[in-house]
Amino acid sequence: MDKDRYISLYEKWLAGECSEQEKEQLLHYRDNFGYKEYPWEEGMGDPHEIKAQIHYMLQRSTRRSGYGLLGAIIKWSVAASIVVGLLTVLYKFSQGPIQDEQNKIVVKKNLVKPGTNKATLTLADGTVIALDNSARGLITNHDGINVQQRVKGQLIYETAANTDDNASVLNTISTPFGGQYQIILQDGTKVWLNAASSLKFPAVFNGNDRQVEITGEVYFEVAKNPAKPFRVKFNGNTITVLGTHFDVMAYPDEAGSKVTLVEGAVNLANTTGTTQLKPGMQAMIQNHNSTITTHNVDVEEAIAWKKGYFLFNNENIQSIMRKISRWYNVDISYEGNMRGKEFSGSVSRFKNVNEVLDMLELTESIRFKIEGRRIKVMP
Which range, 8-12, 17-21, 147-151, 315-319, has the best average confidence (pLDDT)? 315-319
Residues 222 and 161 in one domain: yes
* Residue 239 and residue 215 share a domain: yes
pLDDT of residue 340: 85
pLDDT digits (tens, 9 = 90+) for 221-240: 999 999 999 999 999 999 99
159 lies in a domain? yes
pLDDT tens readout for residues 73-130? 344 444 444 444 444 444 333 344 434 433 333 334 568 999 999 999 999 999 999 9
Domain with residue 198: its CATH number is 2.60.120.1440
Q: Is residue 308 a part of any domain in this protein?
A: no
With a CB cutoff of 8 Å and minimum separation 6, the contacts of 242 are: 222, 224, 225, 226, 229, 230, 264
Q: Answer whether residue 180 is part of any domain.
A: yes
Q: In terms of Cα–Cα distance, which of 246, 250, 212, 247 is closest to 228?
A: 212
Tell me if 317 is assigned to some domain: no
- Residue 259 belongs to domain spanning: 116-300
Would you say residue 335 lies in a domain? yes
**pLDDT (0 to 100) of residue 14:** 61
Q: Does residue 209 share a domain with residue 250? A: yes
* Model confidence, pTM: 0.74
316 occurs within a structural domain = no
Structural domain count, the chain: 2
Domain boundary among 234, 265, 300: 300
Residue 23: which pLDDT band, with cuts at 50, 70 and 90?
confident
Q: What confidence score (pLDDT) does residue 105 get? A: 36
User: Is residue 278 pLDDT above 90, yes or no?
Assistant: yes
Work out whether strand 309-316 and strand 342-348 pair parallel, antiparallel, or are unpaired: antiparallel
pLDDT per residue over 178-203, tens digit each?
A: 999 999 999 999 999 999 999 999 99
By DSSP bridging, strand 116-122 and strand 331-334 are: unpaired
Per-residue confidence (pLDDT) for residue 201, from 0 to 100:
97
100 with 121, same domain: the answer is: no
Q: How many CB atoms lie within 10 A of CB 70?
A: 12
Least confident among 3-12, 28-37, 144-153: 28-37
CA–CA dist 361, 348 (Å, integer)? 16
Do 91 and 123 fall within a single domain? Answer: no
Which residues on neighbouring strands pair with residue 201, listed in sequence order? 171
| Same-domain check for residues 273 and 332 | no
Spatial contact of 199 and 214, defined as CB atoms under 8 Å apart: yes
Say if residue 57 is in the same domain as residue 127.
Answer: no
232 or 207, higher pLDDT: 232
* Of 64 and 359, the one with more pLDDT: 359
- Residue 76 is assigned to a structural domain of this protein: yes
Task: Grade residue 259 by pLDDT with cuts at 50, 70 and 90.
Answer: very high
In percent, the amount of the chain with pLDDT more than 70 equals 72
56 and 11 within one domain: yes
CB distance 181 to 116 below 8 Å: no
Q: What is the pLDDT of residues 137-160, one digit of tens each?
A: 999 987 778 899 988 899 999 886
Same domain? For 91 and 176 the reply is no
Are residues 198 and 251 part of one domain?
yes
Residues 248 and 177 in one domain: yes
Q: Of 300, 334, 354, which residue sits at a domain end?
A: 300
Per residue in 299-356, pLDDT (tens digit) is 999 999 999 999 998 899 999 999 999 999 999 999 999 988 898 888 899 999 999 9
pLDDT in tens, 43-84: 334 444 444 444 444 444 444 333 333 343 344 444 444 444
* Lowest-pLDDT range of 77-81, 257-261, 270-274, 320-324: 77-81
At residue 151, the pLDDT reads 86
Last residue in a domain, options 285, 300, 315: 300
Q: According to the model, what pLDDT value does residue 35 have?
A: 34
Section 281-288 average pLDDT: 96
Residue 29 lies in a domain: yes
Q: Please, are residues 320 and 368 in contact by the beta-carbon 8 Å criterion?
A: no
Q: Are residue 153 and residue 286 in the same domain, yes or no?
A: yes
